Chains A and B, each alone.
Chain A
Amino acid sequence: MRTSRPARVGQYTALLAYLVFLAFPFLWLVSTAFKPPRELGSLHPTWIPEDPTLANFRQAFDEQPLLHAALNSLLAALGAAVIAVLIATPMAYVVARRRTWLAKAVTGWVVVSQAFPFVLLIIPLFLVLKNLRMINSVPGLVLVYVVWSLPFALWMLAGYVRAVPPELEEAAAVDGAGRVRTLVSVTAPLLAPGIVATALFAFITAWNEFFFALVLLKTPEKQTLPVVLTHFIGAEGVADLGPLAAAAFLATLPSLVVFALIQRRITGGMLTGAVKS
Protein backbone atom coordinates (compact mmCIF):
# COMPACT_ATOMS: atom_id res chain seq x y z
CA MET A 1 0.00 0.00 0.00
CA ARG A 2 1.35 3.42 -0.88
CA THR A 3 0.84 6.37 1.36
CA SER A 4 0.62 9.84 -0.11
CA ARG A 5 3.38 12.34 0.55
CA PRO A 6 1.45 14.78 2.74
CA ALA A 7 0.20 11.84 4.80
CA ARG A 8 3.81 10.68 5.30
CA VAL A 9 4.86 14.14 6.43
CA GLY A 10 1.97 14.16 8.88
CA GLN A 11 2.94 10.75 10.20
CA TYR A 12 6.55 11.76 10.77
CA THR A 13 5.52 14.98 12.50
CA ALA A 14 3.28 13.02 14.83
CA LEU A 15 5.98 10.43 15.51
CA LEU A 16 8.45 13.18 16.29
CA ALA A 17 6.00 14.77 18.73
CA TYR A 18 5.62 11.42 20.49
CA LEU A 19 9.41 10.98 20.66
CA VAL A 20 9.82 14.39 22.27
CA PHE A 21 6.97 13.79 24.74
CA LEU A 22 8.34 10.40 25.78
CA ALA A 23 11.98 11.42 26.04
CA PHE A 24 12.14 14.96 27.39
CA PRO A 25 11.42 14.31 31.10
CA PHE A 26 14.09 11.63 31.22
CA LEU A 27 16.62 13.80 29.41
CA TRP A 28 15.86 16.57 31.88
CA LEU A 29 16.47 14.19 34.78
CA VAL A 30 19.85 13.21 33.34
CA SER A 31 20.73 16.82 32.67
CA THR A 32 19.81 17.88 36.22
CA ALA A 33 21.84 15.05 37.70
CA PHE A 34 25.05 16.41 36.17
CA LYS A 35 24.55 20.10 36.96
CA PRO A 36 26.53 21.94 39.63
CA PRO A 37 24.50 23.84 42.27
CA ARG A 38 25.18 27.19 40.60
CA GLU A 39 23.39 26.10 37.44
CA LEU A 40 20.54 24.49 39.38
CA GLY A 41 19.88 27.80 41.09
CA SER A 42 19.99 29.72 37.83
CA LEU A 43 16.76 31.21 36.52
CA HIS A 44 17.67 30.17 33.00
CA PRO A 45 18.42 26.47 33.15
CA THR A 46 19.94 24.90 30.07
CA TRP A 47 19.45 21.46 28.55
CA ILE A 48 23.15 20.68 28.46
CA PRO A 49 25.04 21.38 31.70
CA GLU A 50 27.62 24.09 31.02
CA ASP A 51 29.88 22.70 33.68
CA PRO A 52 29.04 19.00 34.11
CA THR A 53 29.97 17.48 37.45
CA LEU A 54 29.73 14.23 39.39
CA ALA A 55 29.41 16.08 42.71
CA ASN A 56 25.67 15.37 42.90
CA PHE A 57 26.30 11.64 42.87
CA ARG A 58 28.86 11.91 45.64
CA GLN A 59 26.54 14.09 47.70
CA ALA A 60 23.64 11.69 47.13
CA PHE A 61 25.66 8.80 48.54
CA ASP A 62 26.74 10.96 51.49
CA GLU A 63 23.23 12.11 52.36
CA GLN A 64 21.33 8.83 52.19
CA PRO A 65 22.31 5.18 52.62
CA LEU A 66 21.85 4.48 48.92
CA LEU A 67 24.11 1.46 48.67
CA HIS A 68 22.44 -0.20 51.61
CA ALA A 69 19.01 0.59 50.19
CA ALA A 70 20.04 -0.84 46.83
CA LEU A 71 21.15 -4.01 48.57
CA ASN A 72 17.78 -4.29 50.35
CA SER A 73 16.00 -3.71 47.04
CA LEU A 74 18.12 -6.35 45.37
CA LEU A 75 17.42 -8.91 48.10
CA ALA A 76 13.69 -8.21 48.08
CA ALA A 77 13.44 -8.29 44.29
CA LEU A 78 15.60 -11.40 43.83
CA GLY A 79 13.82 -13.27 46.59
CA ALA A 80 10.40 -12.35 45.25
CA ALA A 81 11.27 -13.22 41.65
CA VAL A 82 12.84 -16.60 42.41
CA ILE A 83 10.15 -17.76 44.83
CA ALA A 84 7.27 -16.47 42.70
CA VAL A 85 8.50 -18.30 39.61
CA LEU A 86 9.30 -21.49 41.52
CA ILE A 87 5.81 -21.81 42.93
CA ALA A 88 3.90 -20.28 40.01
CA THR A 89 5.32 -22.46 37.24
CA PRO A 90 3.83 -25.79 38.41
CA MET A 91 0.47 -24.17 39.07
CA ALA A 92 0.50 -22.38 35.71
CA TYR A 93 1.15 -25.73 34.09
CA VAL A 94 -1.93 -27.29 35.69
CA VAL A 95 -4.06 -24.23 34.95
CA ALA A 96 -3.03 -24.26 31.29
CA ARG A 97 -3.29 -28.00 30.71
CA ARG A 98 -6.33 -29.10 32.72
CA ARG A 99 -9.83 -27.81 32.59
CA THR A 100 -10.69 -28.19 36.24
CA TRP A 101 -12.68 -26.04 38.60
CA LEU A 102 -9.39 -25.05 40.17
CA ALA A 103 -8.12 -23.60 36.91
CA LYS A 104 -11.26 -21.50 36.69
CA ALA A 105 -10.97 -20.41 40.32
CA VAL A 106 -7.34 -19.37 39.84
CA THR A 107 -8.17 -17.40 36.69
CA GLY A 108 -10.99 -15.71 38.60
CA TRP A 109 -8.64 -14.83 41.43
CA VAL A 110 -6.09 -13.40 38.96
CA VAL A 111 -8.75 -11.08 37.58
CA VAL A 112 -10.30 -10.13 40.93
CA SER A 113 -6.93 -9.44 42.54
CA GLN A 114 -6.36 -6.70 39.98
CA ALA A 115 -9.41 -4.81 41.16
CA PHE A 116 -8.66 -4.74 44.89
CA PRO A 117 -7.20 -1.54 46.28
CA PHE A 118 -3.96 -2.27 48.11
CA VAL A 119 -5.34 -0.69 51.31
CA LEU A 120 -7.78 -3.52 51.73
CA LEU A 121 -4.90 -5.98 51.42
CA ILE A 122 -2.19 -4.13 53.30
CA ILE A 123 -4.07 -3.50 56.57
CA PRO A 124 -4.71 -7.21 57.27
CA LEU A 125 -1.26 -8.14 55.96
CA PHE A 126 0.27 -5.55 58.26
CA LEU A 127 -1.57 -7.08 61.23
CA VAL A 128 -0.63 -10.63 60.23
CA LEU A 129 3.03 -9.78 59.64
CA LYS A 130 3.10 -7.86 62.92
CA ASN A 131 1.99 -10.98 64.77
CA LEU A 132 4.69 -12.95 62.97
CA ARG A 133 7.20 -10.22 63.92
CA MET A 134 7.97 -9.67 60.25
CA ILE A 135 7.24 -5.96 60.11
CA ASN A 136 10.26 -3.88 59.19
CA SER A 137 12.07 -6.88 57.72
CA VAL A 138 13.09 -7.65 54.17
CA PRO A 139 11.88 -11.30 54.34
CA GLY A 140 8.42 -10.03 55.33
CA LEU A 141 8.45 -7.75 52.31
CA VAL A 142 9.54 -10.65 50.09
CA LEU A 143 6.51 -12.61 51.27
CA VAL A 144 4.21 -9.76 50.30
CA TYR A 145 5.92 -9.30 46.94
CA VAL A 146 5.63 -13.00 46.10
CA VAL A 147 1.87 -12.96 46.57
CA TRP A 148 1.60 -9.62 44.85
CA SER A 149 3.44 -10.79 41.71
CA LEU A 150 1.74 -14.21 41.56
CA PRO A 151 -1.31 -13.15 39.49
CA PHE A 152 0.82 -11.71 36.74
CA ALA A 153 3.36 -14.53 36.87
CA LEU A 154 0.60 -17.14 36.63
CA TRP A 155 -1.01 -15.29 33.76
CA MET A 156 2.22 -15.04 31.76
CA LEU A 157 3.43 -18.56 32.53
CA ALA A 158 0.08 -20.13 31.62
CA GLY A 159 0.42 -18.39 28.27
CA TYR A 160 3.89 -19.85 27.74
CA VAL A 161 2.68 -23.33 28.71
CA ARG A 162 -0.16 -23.13 26.17
CA ALA A 163 2.44 -22.31 23.52
CA VAL A 164 4.13 -25.70 24.11
CA PRO A 165 2.21 -28.22 21.99
CA PRO A 166 0.72 -30.99 24.19
CA GLU A 167 1.52 -33.40 21.32
CA LEU A 168 5.20 -33.15 22.24
CA GLU A 169 4.45 -34.38 25.75
CA GLU A 170 2.21 -37.12 24.41
CA ALA A 171 4.94 -38.24 22.03
CA ALA A 172 7.41 -38.47 24.93
CA ALA A 173 4.87 -40.49 26.91
CA VAL A 174 4.43 -42.87 23.98
CA ASP A 175 8.20 -43.28 23.85
CA GLY A 176 8.01 -44.51 27.44
CA ALA A 177 9.02 -41.42 29.40
CA GLY A 178 7.32 -41.09 32.75
CA ARG A 179 5.41 -37.95 33.73
CA VAL A 180 8.23 -36.42 35.70
CA ARG A 181 10.74 -37.26 32.98
CA THR A 182 8.46 -35.68 30.35
CA LEU A 183 8.10 -32.49 32.39
CA VAL A 184 11.82 -32.23 33.08
CA SER A 185 13.28 -33.10 29.70
CA VAL A 186 10.57 -32.00 27.26
CA THR A 187 8.43 -29.25 28.77
CA ALA A 188 10.92 -27.46 31.02
CA PRO A 189 13.51 -26.65 28.32
CA LEU A 190 10.80 -25.25 26.05
CA LEU A 191 9.42 -23.16 28.91
CA ALA A 192 12.81 -21.88 30.09
CA PRO A 193 12.85 -18.60 28.14
CA GLY A 194 9.34 -17.80 29.32
CA ILE A 195 10.27 -18.61 32.90
CA VAL A 196 13.30 -16.33 32.73
CA ALA A 197 11.22 -13.51 31.26
CA THR A 198 8.59 -13.90 33.97
CA ALA A 199 11.23 -13.92 36.70
CA LEU A 200 12.83 -10.77 35.32
CA PHE A 201 9.47 -9.08 35.13
CA ALA A 202 8.72 -10.01 38.73
CA PHE A 203 12.17 -8.67 39.61
CA ILE A 204 11.46 -5.28 38.06
CA THR A 205 8.03 -4.93 39.63
CA ALA A 206 9.47 -5.69 43.06
CA TRP A 207 12.49 -3.42 42.47
CA ASN A 208 10.16 -0.55 41.55
CA GLU A 209 7.49 -1.18 44.20
CA PHE A 210 6.80 1.59 46.67
CA PHE A 211 3.52 1.30 48.59
CA PHE A 212 4.10 -1.95 50.48
CA ALA A 213 7.70 -0.99 51.21
CA LEU A 214 6.56 2.38 52.57
CA VAL A 215 4.07 0.75 54.92
CA LEU A 216 6.14 -2.22 56.05
CA LEU A 217 9.69 -0.85 56.38
CA LYS A 218 10.10 1.67 59.17
CA THR A 219 13.82 2.13 59.84
CA PRO A 220 16.24 3.53 57.25
CA GLU A 221 18.60 0.53 57.37
CA LYS A 222 15.76 -1.76 56.24
CA GLN A 223 14.24 0.46 53.57
CA THR A 224 14.38 -0.17 49.84
CA LEU A 225 15.57 2.27 47.20
CA PRO A 226 12.21 3.87 46.26
CA VAL A 227 11.44 4.64 49.92
CA VAL A 228 14.91 6.08 50.54
CA LEU A 229 14.58 8.23 47.41
CA THR A 230 11.55 9.99 48.90
CA HIS A 231 13.73 11.07 51.86
CA PHE A 232 15.52 13.44 49.50
CA ILE A 233 12.31 15.42 49.36
CA GLY A 234 12.05 17.36 52.59
CA ALA A 235 8.96 17.75 54.73
CA GLU A 236 7.99 21.01 53.07
CA GLY A 237 8.45 19.52 49.64
CA VAL A 238 11.76 21.34 49.22
CA ALA A 239 14.33 19.12 47.62
CA ASP A 240 18.01 19.31 46.94
CA LEU A 241 17.54 18.90 43.21
CA GLY A 242 21.00 17.76 42.15
CA PRO A 243 21.47 14.77 44.49
CA LEU A 244 17.79 13.90 44.09
CA ALA A 245 18.18 13.66 40.32
CA ALA A 246 21.43 11.76 40.60
CA ALA A 247 19.99 9.15 42.96
CA ALA A 248 16.79 8.79 40.91
CA PHE A 249 18.85 8.29 37.76
CA LEU A 250 20.94 5.55 39.36
CA ALA A 251 17.87 3.79 40.80
CA THR A 252 16.35 3.57 37.32
CA LEU A 253 19.31 2.00 35.55
CA PRO A 254 18.80 -1.63 36.68
CA SER A 255 15.13 -1.63 35.66
CA LEU A 256 15.91 -0.06 32.31
CA VAL A 257 18.61 -2.60 31.50
CA VAL A 258 16.55 -5.62 32.55
CA PHE A 259 13.48 -4.31 30.81
CA ALA A 260 15.33 -3.71 27.57
CA LEU A 261 16.38 -7.36 27.65
CA ILE A 262 12.90 -8.79 28.04
CA GLN A 263 10.61 -6.22 26.45
CA ARG A 264 9.69 -8.37 23.50
CA ARG A 265 8.98 -11.43 25.61
CA ILE A 266 6.79 -9.49 28.03
CA THR A 267 4.54 -8.23 25.28
CA GLY A 268 4.41 -11.68 23.74
CA GLY A 269 3.64 -13.25 27.11
CA MET A 270 0.85 -10.82 27.86
CA LEU A 271 -0.91 -11.74 24.66
CA THR A 272 -0.47 -15.48 24.72
CA GLY A 273 -1.69 -15.34 28.30
CA ALA A 274 -4.74 -13.44 27.15
CA VAL A 275 -5.69 -15.80 24.35
CA LYS A 276 -7.72 -18.71 25.64
CA SER A 277 -7.90 -21.81 23.57
Chain B
Amino acid sequence: MDHGAWFLVLPALIPILVLSVGPLLYGILLAFTDAQSGRTEPTQWIGGLNFRDLLHDTLFWESFRIGLVWAVGVTVPQFLLALGLALLLNQDLRLRWLARALAIIPWAMPEVVVGIMWRLVYNPDAGILNETLRDVGLGGGRDWLSGLATALPAVILVGVWAGMPQTTVALLAGLQNTPRELHEAAAVDGAGAWRRFRTVTWPALRPIALAITALNLIWNFNSFALVYVLTNGGPGGRTRLPMLFAYEEAFRYGQFGYAAAMGCVMVAVISIALAVFLAGRLRGGDDA
Protein backbone atom coordinates (compact mmCIF):
# COMPACT_ATOMS: atom_id res chain seq x y z
CA MET B 1 0.00 0.00 0.00
CA ASP B 2 1.26 3.47 -0.84
CA HIS B 3 1.39 6.51 1.43
CA GLY B 4 -1.87 7.96 0.10
CA ALA B 5 -3.78 4.84 1.06
CA TRP B 6 -2.30 4.79 4.58
CA PHE B 7 -3.28 8.42 4.97
CA LEU B 8 -6.88 7.51 4.16
CA VAL B 9 -6.95 4.45 6.39
CA LEU B 10 -5.24 5.65 9.57
CA PRO B 11 -8.02 7.90 10.99
CA ALA B 12 -10.26 4.84 11.30
CA LEU B 13 -7.55 2.27 11.91
CA ILE B 14 -6.19 3.89 15.08
CA PRO B 15 -9.54 3.99 16.92
CA ILE B 16 -10.27 0.45 15.77
CA LEU B 17 -6.98 -0.79 17.17
CA VAL B 18 -7.06 1.27 20.36
CA LEU B 19 -10.74 1.02 21.25
CA SER B 20 -11.86 -2.26 19.73
CA VAL B 21 -9.13 -4.77 18.95
CA GLY B 22 -7.04 -3.75 21.96
CA PRO B 23 -9.88 -3.87 24.51
CA LEU B 24 -11.07 -7.22 23.15
CA LEU B 25 -7.63 -8.77 23.68
CA TYR B 26 -7.41 -7.03 27.07
CA GLY B 27 -10.83 -8.47 27.91
CA ILE B 28 -9.67 -11.97 27.05
CA LEU B 29 -6.59 -11.48 29.25
CA LEU B 30 -8.76 -10.20 32.12
CA ALA B 31 -10.58 -13.54 32.09
CA PHE B 32 -7.36 -15.11 33.42
CA THR B 33 -7.00 -12.63 36.30
CA ASP B 34 -8.81 -11.87 39.54
CA ALA B 35 -9.56 -8.29 38.48
CA GLN B 36 -12.19 -6.61 40.65
CA SER B 37 -13.59 -3.12 40.75
CA GLY B 38 -12.35 -0.75 43.44
CA ARG B 39 -9.66 -3.02 44.85
CA THR B 40 -6.41 -1.65 46.14
CA GLU B 41 -4.16 -4.74 45.85
CA PRO B 42 -2.70 -5.34 42.40
CA THR B 43 -4.54 -7.71 40.09
CA GLN B 44 -3.14 -11.24 40.08
CA TRP B 45 -2.71 -13.67 37.26
CA ILE B 46 -4.74 -16.74 38.22
CA GLY B 47 -4.66 -18.88 35.10
CA GLY B 48 -7.77 -20.92 34.41
CA LEU B 49 -9.29 -20.54 37.87
CA ASN B 50 -12.19 -18.38 36.65
CA PHE B 51 -13.05 -20.96 34.05
CA ARG B 52 -12.86 -23.79 36.59
CA ASP B 53 -15.23 -21.84 38.87
CA LEU B 54 -17.49 -21.14 35.94
CA LEU B 55 -17.72 -24.83 35.15
CA HIS B 56 -19.34 -25.43 38.55
CA ASP B 57 -21.48 -22.29 38.50
CA THR B 58 -24.92 -23.80 38.01
CA LEU B 59 -26.54 -20.35 38.00
CA PHE B 60 -24.42 -19.36 35.01
CA TRP B 61 -25.22 -22.51 33.06
CA GLU B 62 -28.91 -22.08 33.83
CA SER B 63 -28.62 -18.55 32.48
CA PHE B 64 -26.75 -19.92 29.48
CA ARG B 65 -29.53 -22.43 28.82
CA ILE B 66 -32.12 -19.64 29.03
CA GLY B 67 -30.00 -17.63 26.61
CA LEU B 68 -30.02 -20.46 24.09
CA VAL B 69 -33.78 -21.02 24.46
CA TRP B 70 -34.29 -17.29 24.01
CA ALA B 71 -31.96 -17.01 20.99
CA VAL B 72 -33.49 -19.96 19.13
CA GLY B 73 -37.00 -19.14 20.35
CA VAL B 74 -36.72 -15.65 18.94
CA THR B 75 -34.74 -16.34 15.77
CA VAL B 76 -36.88 -19.15 14.35
CA PRO B 77 -40.33 -17.49 14.58
CA GLN B 78 -38.70 -14.21 13.57
CA PHE B 79 -37.46 -15.82 10.38
CA LEU B 80 -40.72 -17.61 9.55
CA LEU B 81 -42.88 -14.55 10.20
CA ALA B 82 -40.48 -12.31 8.30
CA LEU B 83 -40.44 -14.71 5.35
CA GLY B 84 -44.24 -14.70 5.26
CA LEU B 85 -44.39 -10.92 5.38
CA ALA B 86 -41.67 -10.55 2.76
CA LEU B 87 -43.52 -12.89 0.39
CA LEU B 88 -46.71 -10.86 0.90
CA LEU B 89 -44.94 -7.56 0.36
CA ASN B 90 -43.46 -8.94 -2.85
CA GLN B 91 -47.00 -9.33 -4.25
CA ASP B 92 -49.06 -6.60 -5.82
CA LEU B 93 -51.26 -5.98 -2.84
CA ARG B 94 -52.95 -2.81 -1.72
CA LEU B 95 -51.90 -1.51 1.71
CA ARG B 96 -48.38 -2.68 1.00
CA TRP B 97 -47.12 0.84 1.68
CA LEU B 98 -48.82 0.77 5.08
CA ALA B 99 -47.12 -2.48 6.03
CA ARG B 100 -43.76 -1.08 4.97
CA ALA B 101 -44.36 2.06 6.99
CA LEU B 102 -45.43 0.12 10.07
CA ALA B 103 -42.48 -2.22 9.78
CA ILE B 104 -40.26 0.78 10.41
CA ILE B 105 -41.65 1.30 13.91
CA PRO B 106 -40.09 -1.69 15.71
CA TRP B 107 -36.83 -1.19 13.84
CA ALA B 108 -36.40 2.49 14.58
CA MET B 109 -37.55 2.44 18.19
CA PRO B 110 -35.07 2.49 21.05
CA GLU B 111 -35.04 -0.96 22.63
CA VAL B 112 -35.82 0.60 25.97
CA VAL B 113 -39.02 2.06 24.53
CA VAL B 114 -39.95 -1.30 22.99
CA GLY B 115 -39.58 -2.82 26.45
CA ILE B 116 -41.65 -0.08 28.10
CA MET B 117 -44.33 -0.36 25.43
CA TRP B 118 -44.75 -4.09 25.90
CA ARG B 119 -44.83 -3.66 29.68
CA LEU B 120 -47.90 -1.50 29.05
CA VAL B 121 -49.38 -4.21 26.83
CA TYR B 122 -48.69 -6.96 29.39
CA ASN B 123 -49.76 -4.87 32.39
CA PRO B 124 -52.09 -7.13 34.41
CA ASP B 125 -54.71 -4.43 35.08
CA ALA B 126 -54.38 -1.62 32.60
CA GLY B 127 -52.84 -3.70 29.79
CA ILE B 128 -54.59 -4.32 26.50
CA LEU B 129 -53.70 -8.02 26.39
CA ASN B 130 -55.65 -8.98 29.49
CA GLU B 131 -58.47 -6.65 28.54
CA THR B 132 -58.78 -8.35 25.14
CA LEU B 133 -58.69 -11.78 26.77
CA ARG B 134 -61.46 -10.70 29.16
CA ASP B 135 -63.49 -9.36 26.23
CA VAL B 136 -63.36 -12.61 24.29
CA GLY B 137 -64.11 -14.55 27.47
CA LEU B 138 -60.77 -16.26 27.99
CA GLY B 139 -60.68 -15.59 31.70
CA GLY B 140 -59.28 -12.81 33.82
CA GLY B 141 -55.82 -12.89 32.33
CA ARG B 142 -52.65 -12.98 34.37
CA ASP B 143 -49.48 -11.15 35.24
CA TRP B 144 -47.50 -12.28 32.22
CA LEU B 145 -44.09 -10.85 33.05
CA SER B 146 -43.96 -12.01 36.66
CA GLY B 147 -45.44 -15.48 36.16
CA LEU B 148 -42.77 -18.18 36.41
CA ALA B 149 -44.17 -20.04 33.43
CA THR B 150 -45.16 -17.10 31.24
CA ALA B 151 -42.24 -14.70 31.65
CA LEU B 152 -39.86 -16.30 29.16
CA PRO B 153 -42.47 -16.86 26.41
CA ALA B 154 -43.70 -13.29 26.98
CA VAL B 155 -40.26 -11.75 26.49
CA ILE B 156 -39.58 -14.04 23.51
CA LEU B 157 -42.69 -12.66 21.80
CA VAL B 158 -41.33 -9.14 22.29
CA GLY B 159 -37.99 -10.23 20.84
CA VAL B 160 -39.74 -11.60 17.76
CA TRP B 161 -41.72 -8.39 17.31
CA ALA B 162 -38.67 -6.18 17.70
CA GLY B 163 -36.43 -8.04 15.26
CA MET B 164 -38.92 -8.98 12.57
CA PRO B 165 -38.67 -5.84 10.39
CA GLN B 166 -34.92 -6.07 9.78
CA THR B 167 -35.24 -9.70 8.73
CA THR B 168 -38.22 -8.88 6.54
CA VAL B 169 -36.37 -6.11 4.74
CA ALA B 170 -33.34 -8.31 4.10
CA LEU B 171 -35.50 -11.16 2.78
CA LEU B 172 -37.62 -8.82 0.69
CA ALA B 173 -34.54 -7.42 -0.97
CA GLY B 174 -33.45 -10.98 -1.70
CA LEU B 175 -36.85 -11.79 -3.18
CA GLN B 176 -36.67 -8.80 -5.48
CA ASN B 177 -33.43 -10.16 -6.88
CA THR B 178 -34.98 -13.47 -7.94
CA PRO B 179 -35.61 -13.56 -11.68
CA ARG B 180 -39.26 -12.94 -12.45
CA GLU B 181 -39.15 -14.73 -15.80
CA LEU B 182 -38.13 -17.95 -14.08
CA HIS B 183 -41.20 -17.66 -11.86
CA GLU B 184 -43.49 -17.12 -14.81
CA ALA B 185 -41.93 -19.96 -16.78
CA ALA B 186 -42.49 -22.29 -13.84
CA ALA B 187 -46.10 -21.13 -13.59
CA VAL B 188 -46.66 -21.75 -17.29
CA ASP B 189 -45.26 -25.24 -16.84
CA GLY B 190 -47.98 -25.78 -14.25
CA ALA B 191 -45.94 -25.63 -11.06
CA GLY B 192 -48.05 -24.79 -8.01
CA ALA B 193 -47.21 -22.03 -5.54
CA TRP B 194 -45.33 -24.33 -3.15
CA ARG B 195 -43.28 -25.90 -5.96
CA ARG B 196 -42.45 -22.50 -7.39
CA PHE B 197 -41.31 -21.40 -3.96
CA ARG B 198 -39.14 -24.49 -3.46
CA THR B 199 -37.56 -24.64 -6.88
CA VAL B 200 -37.28 -20.97 -7.89
CA THR B 201 -37.59 -18.65 -4.91
CA TRP B 202 -35.80 -20.54 -2.17
CA PRO B 203 -32.56 -21.30 -4.04
CA ALA B 204 -32.19 -17.62 -4.86
CA LEU B 205 -33.09 -16.54 -1.33
CA ARG B 206 -30.96 -19.09 0.51
CA PRO B 207 -27.68 -17.16 0.89
CA ILE B 208 -29.47 -14.11 2.33
CA ALA B 209 -31.67 -16.29 4.55
CA LEU B 210 -28.58 -18.02 5.96
CA ALA B 211 -26.70 -14.79 6.55
CA ILE B 212 -29.57 -13.03 8.29
CA THR B 213 -30.39 -16.07 10.44
CA ALA B 214 -26.78 -16.39 11.56
CA LEU B 215 -26.66 -12.68 12.42
CA ASN B 216 -30.01 -12.85 14.22
CA LEU B 217 -28.80 -15.77 16.33
CA ILE B 218 -25.72 -13.83 17.43
CA TRP B 219 -27.58 -10.58 18.05
CA ASN B 220 -30.33 -12.30 19.99
CA PHE B 221 -27.94 -14.31 22.12
CA ASN B 222 -26.12 -11.10 23.02
CA SER B 223 -29.25 -9.08 23.60
CA PHE B 224 -29.62 -7.05 26.77
CA ALA B 225 -31.79 -3.93 26.82
CA LEU B 226 -35.16 -5.52 25.98
CA VAL B 227 -35.13 -8.04 28.79
CA TYR B 228 -33.45 -5.63 31.21
CA VAL B 229 -36.43 -3.31 30.84
CA LEU B 230 -39.12 -5.98 30.63
CA THR B 231 -38.21 -8.20 33.59
CA ASN B 232 -34.63 -7.38 34.65
CA GLY B 233 -34.00 -11.12 34.55
CA GLY B 234 -36.86 -12.06 36.85
CA PRO B 235 -38.98 -13.71 38.08
CA GLY B 236 -36.52 -15.87 39.99
CA GLY B 237 -33.96 -15.68 37.19
CA ARG B 238 -36.33 -17.23 34.63
CA THR B 239 -35.40 -14.62 32.01
CA ARG B 240 -31.85 -13.90 33.11
CA LEU B 241 -30.01 -13.97 29.80
CA PRO B 242 -26.22 -14.49 29.91
CA MET B 243 -25.63 -10.82 29.13
CA LEU B 244 -27.71 -9.74 32.13
CA PHE B 245 -25.87 -12.24 34.29
CA ALA B 246 -22.46 -11.00 33.16
CA TYR B 247 -23.55 -7.37 33.53
CA GLU B 248 -24.55 -7.94 37.16
CA GLU B 249 -21.39 -9.87 37.88
CA ALA B 250 -19.23 -7.09 36.44
CA PHE B 251 -21.00 -3.88 37.40
CA ARG B 252 -23.02 -4.79 40.45
CA TYR B 253 -20.58 -7.16 42.19
CA GLY B 254 -17.45 -5.78 40.51
CA GLN B 255 -16.10 -9.21 39.49
CA PHE B 256 -14.43 -8.03 36.28
CA GLY B 257 -12.24 -11.10 35.76
CA TYR B 258 -15.06 -13.56 36.32
CA ALA B 259 -17.45 -11.63 34.05
CA ALA B 260 -14.78 -11.49 31.34
CA ALA B 261 -14.46 -15.26 31.58
CA MET B 262 -18.23 -15.51 31.03
CA GLY B 263 -17.86 -13.31 27.96
CA CYS B 264 -15.15 -15.62 26.61
CA VAL B 265 -17.33 -18.69 27.12
CA MET B 266 -20.19 -16.94 25.33
CA VAL B 267 -17.99 -16.09 22.35
CA ALA B 268 -16.60 -19.60 22.19
CA VAL B 269 -19.98 -21.30 22.28
CA ILE B 270 -21.51 -18.88 19.78
CA SER B 271 -18.61 -19.34 17.37
CA ILE B 272 -18.79 -23.13 17.55
CA ALA B 273 -22.58 -23.13 17.16
CA LEU B 274 -22.34 -20.83 14.16
CA ALA B 275 -19.55 -22.80 12.53
CA VAL B 276 -21.59 -25.99 12.86
CA PHE B 277 -24.75 -24.28 11.62
CA LEU B 278 -23.11 -22.64 8.61
CA ALA B 279 -20.99 -25.67 7.68
CA GLY B 280 -24.04 -27.94 7.80
CA ARG B 281 -26.15 -25.51 5.80
CA LEU B 282 -23.57 -24.76 3.15
CA ARG B 283 -22.89 -28.43 2.57
CA GLY B 284 -26.64 -29.15 2.65
CA GLY B 285 -27.35 -27.56 -0.74
CA ASP B 286 -25.17 -27.53 -3.82
CA ASP B 287 -27.08 -24.58 -5.21
CA ALA B 288 -26.21 -22.22 -2.36
Interface residues of A (CB under 8 A from B): 1, 3, 7, 11-12, 14-16, 18-19, 21-26, 28-29, 32, 40-45, 47, 86-88, 90-91, 93-94, 98, 100, 102, 106, 109, 113-125, 127-128, 143-144, 146-147, 150, 154, 179, 204, 207-211, 214-215, 225-226, 229-230, 232-233, 237, 239, 241, 244-245, 248, 251-252, 255-256, 258-260, 263, 267, 270-271, 274
Given A245-B120, A267-B170, 6 more pairs with CB closer than 8 A: A45-B131, A94-B1, A120-B263, A248-B116, A251-B112, A252-B109
B262-287 interface bits toward A, Cβ cutoff 8 Å, 1 = contact, 0 = none: 11101100110010000000000000
A15 to B222, CA, bound (A): 31
Which of B11, B27, B107 is close to A259, meaning CB atoms less than 8 Å apart? B107
- Provide 30 A-B residue pairs closer than 8 Å at the C-beta atoms, listed in order of the A residue: A14-B88, A18-B85, A22-B106, A22-B161, A23-B105, A24-B128, A25-B117, A26-B105, A90-B9, A94-B1, A102-B9, A115-B270, A117-B222, A117-B242, A117-B266, A117-B270, A120-B28, A124-B26, A128-B23, A150-B12, A210-B224, A211-B224, A226-B113, A226-B225, A233-B116, A233-B229, A241-B126, A248-B112, A252-B108, A260-B101
Known: A98-B1, A245-B116. A109 touches B21 (CB 8 A): yes
Task: Across the interface, name the chain B residue whose C-beta is closest to A30.
Answer: B117
**Shortest Cβ-Cβ A-B pairs, 4 listed:** A120-B263, A259-B108, A90-B8, A208-B110
| B260, CB-defined interface residue at 8 Å | yes
Is there contact, CB below 8 Å, between B211 and A274?
yes
Question: B88 contacts which of A11, A23, A32 (Cβ < 8 Å)?
Answer: A11
Q: Which of B100-155 contact A (CB under 8 A)?
A: 100-114, 116-121, 123, 125-128, 131, 134, 146
Write out the residue numbers on chain B whose beta carbons fall within 8 Å of the beta carbon of A128: 19, 23, 26
Residues of A within 8 A of B222 (CB): 117-118
B61 sits at the interface (CB 8 A):
no
A224 to B179, CA, bound (A): 47
Chain A residues lying within 8 Å of B125, measured Cβ to Cβ, are 41, 43
Contacts of B128 in A (CB 8 A): 24, 28, 45, 47
- Taking CB atoms, residues of chain A closer than 8 Å to B105 are 22-23, 26, 256
Task: Give bound CA distance, A22 to B208, whole Å.
Answer: 23
Contact A11 B263 (CB under 8 A): no
Q: Please give the distance in Å from A86's CB to the nearest CB on chain B.
A: 7
User: Which chain A residues lie closer than 8 Å to B23 at the CB level?
Assistant: 121, 124-125, 128
Residues of A within 8 A of B183 (CB): 1
Report if B84 contacts A (CB, 8 A): yes
B232 touches A237 (CB 8 A): yes
Whole-angstrom CA separation of A263 from B101 in the bound complex: 9
Name the CB-closest residue of B to A88: B12
B225: chain A residues within 8 A (beta carbon): 210-211, 226
State whether A150 touches B224 (Cβ < 8 A).
no
Contact with A along B69-100 (1 / 0, CB 8 A): 00000000000010011001001010110111
Write out, one digit per residue, whether chain B residues 211-223 have a CB within 8 A of any chain A CB (1) or not (0): 1000100110110
